[in-house]
Amino acid sequence: MGGFLPPAERRSSVLLGLYAALSLLLLVTGERLPQAWLRGVGAGIFAPLDRIVLTADRMGAAWHENQRLHQRIAELELETTRLESARIENERLRQQLGLMTSRRLTLKPVEVLALSGEPVPASATLSAGHKQGIEMGDAVVTREGLLGRIAEVYPNLSRVILLTDPNAAIACEIESTGVLGVLHFSGTPHPRLVLTDVALADTVRIGQRVVSSGLSRRYPRFLPVGTVRSLERDPSGLTQTIEVTPAAPLSRLRHAFVVPRPHPLEDAP
Amino acid sequence: MRGVAALLVAVVVALLLRSTALSALAARGVVLDVLAFATVLWALRYGETWGSSLGFALGLAADLDAAHWLGRHALVLTLIGYAVGRLSHTLVRESSRTHLALFAIATLVHQLWSAAFDIGGIAGVPYLLQRVVLAVVATAPLGTLLVALLRRVGGQPLFSHASIESGPTS
């Protein structure tokens, strides 16, 4: 290694000064740089390596997952048969009442290559991009529930902003009662998801499911988001804050599905 | 050029670990500061020039991945790499106590610096402090254990051949 730099202590001090100055410069002016482009380049370089590292981990888990999935498929086939008849009946009744019919979601399977963000993952790199039909704003889900939405798209990769991103806000409702609120990530007193702006008069119970309400039109309606974990009264006395346990396992992501955004002219409830 | 290649490999391995296995652990509260660990290890073995170089490269790559505050990790890891590299001339580099202390201090400094940027943002102060303590408690012993394991597997001291100036010449 000595060949790269002359073995002089002065050189190491100069290098230190250079690195420190560069770091400080980036701290001050970093926001003006095309960070999305730089991250795109980085993601492109690391994606194949991430795949290799994850392959070993996933092969071990695949065997157990396969067994579980066989059982789950059998259960879901029975459930689907029951729900299909209910769906037909529901659509017929909605048509008779003149209400809009719900849109069937199309799912594009993708692999989660890497997670980033501190102290909890706030974004993830996905194995599909513009060439695979992924677009900015598409919702991303796992079989358990909503994960986030696509924020950056590269030719063969994309970056999804998770529910835990501090800037994410999702219009939600309590599934069984229709109580509305906005889901945020909050860092105080500890990192958690909270449903805010819920009127104190609205009755909410621990364990109730929280789903996307579709009011913001960024996410389709009825995507599972989580379950109510605890309730607390806001200082104003008019509203309450609800802590929500996310439905999707944000710390252990392997596969996900991208849900294309509804077309502006489509009837989307 | 071998040195640059080794540095790049170290950066890639550390970042891959961080974005795959360790990120899942971190989300469960077990923070293993692989950036501080790699920087200390590198600086102990190759001295301050390469220690600060790895710290800067590793920090810059981590900054790009995190999408916020470019230069945040780069600055502190550069300084840690330099400081540990300088200290390595006078410390008993093969001592487990030295490793434990250096890993603990480096993790503490790195995590405190990183946490300072998050105050008032996504997490509260008690949580951030708890995270810093957990990172130190987890990284220092595990890092020391890993170094001891590497030494046992390799059958020879890890740091005895480092030159005072800028690392091994072969």
Residue A101 has what pLDDT? Answer: 64
Report the candidate in A152, A195, A187, A191 with the shortest Cα–Cα distance to residue A170: A195
A254 closest CA partner among A35, A42, A50, A20: A50
Residue B13: which pLDDT band, with cuts at 50, 70 and 90? confident
Residue A262's pLDDT is 63
Q: Is residue A112 part of a domain?
A: yes
Residue A143 structure tokens:
């079989």
Which residues in B lie closer than 8 A to residue A48 (C-beta atoms)? none
Do A172 and A256 lie in one domain? The reply is yes
The answer on A145 and A218 residing in a single domain is yes
Q: Low-confidence residues of chain A, pLDDT below 70? A: 1-8, 57, 100-103, 119, 262-269
Cβ within 8 Å of residue A98, ≥6 positions away: none
Residue at which a domain ends, from A100, A118, A146: A100
Give the class (CATH, top level) of B2-159: mainly alpha
Q: In angstroms, rounded to a whole number, what is the distance separating the alpha carbons of residues B28 and B31? A: 8
A87: burial class by Cβ within 10 Å (0-12, 13-18, 19+)? middle
B16 contacts A53? CB cut-off 8 A: yes
Ordered by start, the domain boundaries in chain B are 2-159
Beta carbons of B75 and A24 less than 8 Å apart: yes
Is residue A151 domain-shared with residue A42, that is, in the same domain? Answer: no
Tally of domains within chain A: 2
The pLDDT, as a whole number, for residue A227 is: 93
Q: Would residue A259 count as lying in a domain?
A: yes
At a CB cut-off of 8 Å and minimum separation 6, what does A17 contact? Answer: none
Q: Is residue A2 part of a domain?
A: no
Instruction: Write the CB contacts of B20 (distance below 8 Å, at least 6 apart in sequence).
Output: A50, A53, A54, A57, A114, A115
Mean of pLDDT over chain A = 82
Q: Model confidence over A69-81: pLDDT tens digits?
A: 888 888 888 888 8
- Top residue of B23, B82, B129 to mutate, by most chain A CBs within 10 Å, is B23
Say if residue A188 is in the same domain as residue A259: yes
- Of residues A19 and B66, which shows the higher confidence score? A19
pTM > 0.95:
no
Q: What is the largest CA-CA distance in chain B?
A: 49
Final residue of a structural domain among A66, A100, A134: A100
Nearest CA among A155, A156, A163 for reference residue A183: A163
First to last CA, chain A: 63
Tell me, what's the pLDDT at B77? 94
Categorize the per-residue pLDDT at B165 as very low, low, confident or very high, splitting at 50, 70 and 90. very low
**Domain presence at residue A13:** no
Asked if residue A18 is part of any domain, the answer here is no
Give A102's DSSP letter.
Answer: P
Using a CB-CB cut-off of 8 Å, the residues of chain B touching A16 are: 48, 52, 78-79, 82
Residues A136 and A250 in one domain: yes
Q: Within a 13 Å sphere around the CA of B6, how many CA atoms are in the beta-carbon half?
A: 16
Q: Identify the H or E element spanning A235.
A: none
Residue A187, token pair as written in the block: 């860092």
Quick one: which of A200, A199, A211 has its CA closest to A244? A211
Partner-chain residue, chosen from B12, B63, B123, that has the shortest CB–CB distance to A187? B123
Q: Name residue B69's beta-bridge partners.
A: none
Which of B17, B71, B126 lies at the smallest CB-CB distance from A24? B71
Give yes or no: residues A256 and A138 share one domain.
yes
Which residues of A are less than 8 Å from B14 in CB distance?
none
Q: What is the pLDDT of residue B107?
A: 94
At residue A46's C-alpha, the angle toward residues A136 and B44, to 5°, is 135
Q: A-B interface: how many C-beta pairs under 8 angstroms?
A: 175
Residues of chain B with Cβ-Cβ distance to A251 below 8 Å are 23-24, 27-28
Q: Which pLDDT score is estimated for B55?
A: 92
Q: Residue A103 phi/psi, 5° resolution?
A: -90, 140
pLDDT of A167-206, one tens digit each? 888 999 998 888 899 998 887 777 889 998 888 888 888 9
The pLDDT of residue B76: 94
Radius of gyration of the CA atoms of chain A, in A: 23
The 3 state secondary structure assigned to A164-195 is: CCCCCCEEEEECCCCCEEEEEEECCCCCEEEE
Do the Cβ atoms of B71 and A30 come closer than 8 Å? yes
Cβ of B165 within 8 Å of Cβ of A8? The answer is: yes
pLDDT score, position B66: 67
Q: What pLDDT sits at residue A210?
A: 92
**Among candidates B52, B126, B169 on the partner chain, residue whose Cβ is nearest the Cβ of A19:** B52
User: For the segment B27-63, what is each residue's pLDDT rounded down to a tens digit?
Assistant: 677 788 889 999 999 898 888 888 999 999 989 888 8
The residue whose two tokens read 């995507």 is A223
Nearest to B81 by CA among B19, B6, B169, B166: B166
Q: What is the pLDDT of residues B68-123, one digit of tens each?
A: 678 889 999 999 999 999 888 887 777 888 899 999 999 999 999 988 887 766 66
State which residues form the domain around A217: 108-263
CATH of residue A203:
2.40.10.350
Chosen from A16, A41, A164, A186 to mutate, greatest number of chain B CBs within 10 A: A16
Asked whether residue A84 is domain-assigned, the answer is: yes
Do A252 and A133 share a domain, yes or no? yes
Is there a single domain that holds both residue A92 and residue A114? no
Q: What ipTM goes with this model?
A: 0.78
Say whether both A115 and A236 belong to one domain: yes
Cα Rg, chain B, nearest whole Å: 15
Q: Residue A3 falls within a domain, yes or no?
A: no
